Amino acid sequence: MDGLLVIDKPQGLSSHDIVARARRATHIKQIGHAGTLDPLATGVLVLCIGQATRLSEYLLGEDKAYVGRIKLGERTNTDDAEGEVVETRPVPPISDEQLRALEQQFTGAIQQVPPQFSAIKRNGQRAYALARKGETVELAARVVQIQQMTLVCEPTETAACDHLKITVECGSGTYIRSLARDIGEALGCGGHLTQLQRTRIERFTIEQAISLEALADWQTHLLPMDEAVLDMPALHLDEAQTKRVLQGQFLEVGIVTKDAFVPARLNNLCRLYNEQGVLIAIGKHEGPLLKPVKVLATTG
């Protein structure tokens, strides 16, 4: 079986743990996930099953949405609650005007340094592996895209604003842990992420996500695998065209329907279906030709 499962990942389990549980529930080995969630985080994790694993790369670059909680006044070595506190500072009074200014400061294309405890490789080794050895990992800043962010003070019995609720819509590659750290630094007191829920990966939302217990009835929750690439235009091929695509042969664009326009942001990619409406390949326009770049079926 091929398709997608949208899981509501609980706290304390890694993305790899969720894949292992899905393999046991479905008895299918070919399962992967699109977009890792840290064990601390909960929420939307899209599993790709069977042939859908070959489409996971198209989900990895999709926009995401999160809601989280930042504890101010404490900095940790992992930038989240799983790490050791390495510095404490008093939290100053925080006004609504300051929060609105921070929202503006951290919206748009921003420079962000990933956490030292991350899966980014440096000299062939994962940064977290080096950090666990006590090494200081210098990671280069990268540009990430924040479409929208809101910050709200969450008072406690001891302080008017020592926690912030953060809601973020962002592009791929954004670390919310780094946002928490940088917002804390901008306020002059430091901070780290204590809670995080991913509420959306592009069109896949927390409302449609299923629990791990629902994996017992996983087939009723399986989504068609072409939902991973619905932002690509669709081309429907006749029998002869289907045969050529399944053999890895190019098609002339002129013999394909006129809805073949593919936006540049999709890298000229499109979905190719046979006459029965089955997704058989991902194609790419190269000048006047359409090239099959991922053939997903062996028969028409």
- Residues taking part in catalysis: 38
| DSSP per position, 229-268 | GTTS-EEE--HHHHHHHHTT--EEGGGS-TT----GGGTT
CA–CA dist 251, 82 (Å, integer): 53
**Cα dihedral 85, 154, 146, 59 sign:** positive
All residues at 6 or more sequence positions from 14 whose CB lies less than 8 Å from its CB, including other chains: 37, 38, 39
Q: Torsions phi, psi of 51, nearest 5? A: -60, -20
Distance from the Cα of residue 49 to its chain's centroid: 17
CA–CA dist 271, 262 (Å, integer): 10
**Cα dihedral 8, 14, 16, 17 sign:** negative
